[in-house]
Structure 1
Amino acid sequence: MPATASRIGFITSDVRRATAGPDASVEAKYGKLARDTKEPVETFFDLVVDAQIMADERLLLLKAERRLIEFAVSGIEAGVSLDFSGTTPSVTRTVPRYNLSDTAAVVKVEVDYQNNVTTLETWG
């Protein structure tokens, strides 16, 4: 890579910083586990705009409510429908015990042919 004036300026300049937060919903959700540190997360973005986009996306990931649930399906069960038309298989899961009804990505499928049971692990 040639040493252009803009590249030399980029390398010799101080740290470029992008921040996202604080967010009250993340702090309420995680309590003392929510990290509020001044230490930067090292990245390799040339532009602060790109780093800001990633910082905002990290905050959105923290704000979303996600659950990893594994359940067994035997035979034909009502309410379980796999959708393989997209890039990631998804399932509509309804779990009354958790007051949960949503769509989630299927991240693992195990088929036990001997016992006629399929185990799905979902994330969402």
Structure 2
Amino acid sequence: MTKTILKFFKAHGPYVKGDIAGFDPVKAAKLKSVARPYDAEAEKNLATVTLNMDTTEVQAMIADAEAEFASKAADLEAREAALAAREAALESKPEDTTDTTTPAPTPAPDDAKAKKAGKGEPPVQGGADAAANK
């Protein structure tokens, strides 16, 4: 019995779109909703089709984009020159030696006052405090 070769245009079972398989004529008739008969010669002819398209609109869009890039490049060059001039002006100025970002140091607490108040370090064993406690 001869087989009918089909090309699937939808997924069906283990077959996906684009698969080519051979079936007996009865089964091939049942698969009409997901596959069409395959013709190898027609497939070859589809690959050699030449398209002639009008590309003037696309070329005009490309020309506009190139003009926009050129104007932005000129603007960028002008901004870079201005930045270089500002950097040169800053380098030529003398540096300010005062540092305003560092806060003034806070004075340390008086250790003698802390000891008199009974706060701070614990008493030393066997020291003068131990004799006073007896």
With normalisation by structure 1, the TM-score equals: 0.27
Greater helix proportion: 2
Greater strand proportion: 1
Q: RCO (CA 8 Å, sep 6+): is it higher in 1 or 2?
A: 1
With normalisation by structure 2, the TM-score equals: 0.25
Name which one, 1 or 2, has greater alpha-carbon Rg: 2
